[in-house]
Amino acid sequence: MFAGQGMAPQLKGAIDNLIQSNKIVVFMKGTKQFPQCGFSNTVVQILRNVDAPFETVNILENEALRTGMKEYSQWPTFPQVYIDGEFFGGCDIMIEAYQSGELTELLERIKNE
């Protein structure tokens, strides 16, 4: 199946907009204040630790978004982290990038764009 094939154009447009208007956005289970899954919680804690401003979108509140994001990102699970308009990864990738310093480097690079 081609990416985006089964997705309503309005939904795709809304996702595009969220990703483009926030430097960091996390599609996750629960909210920043109340994560409802350990993987999502880990990502929130990492972003807090690196002091990065970020938005979150609770995919548990919208089943179409939950299904749609898997297709949009071609990634089967949550959290899904977008940085600077691009899909960055899930929890494992975030942990790795945090521990290696790659995340801090990337955030420094895009900070003043």
Question: Which residues does the annotation place in the binding site?
Answer: 29, 37, 66, 78, 91-92
Which residues are registered as beta bridge partners of 89?
Answer: 81
Q: Provide the total of helices (H) and of strands (E) in the chain, helices listed first.
A: 5, 4
Distances (CA, A) of 25 to 8, 46, 47, 65, 78: 21, 13, 10, 14, 12
Residue ranges of the binding site for [2Fe-2S] cluster: 37
DSSP 8-state symbol, 60 = G
For position 60 contacting ligand GSH by CB under 6 A, the verdict is: no
For position 90 contacting ligand GSH by CB under 6 A, the verdict is: yes
Stretch that binds ligand GSH, among 3-11, 19-27, 44-52, 90-98 (CB under 6 A): 90-98
The nearer residue to ligand GSH, 23 or 29, going by C-beta atoms, is 29
List residues binding ligand GSH (CB under 6 A).
29, 37, 39, 66, 77-79, 90-92
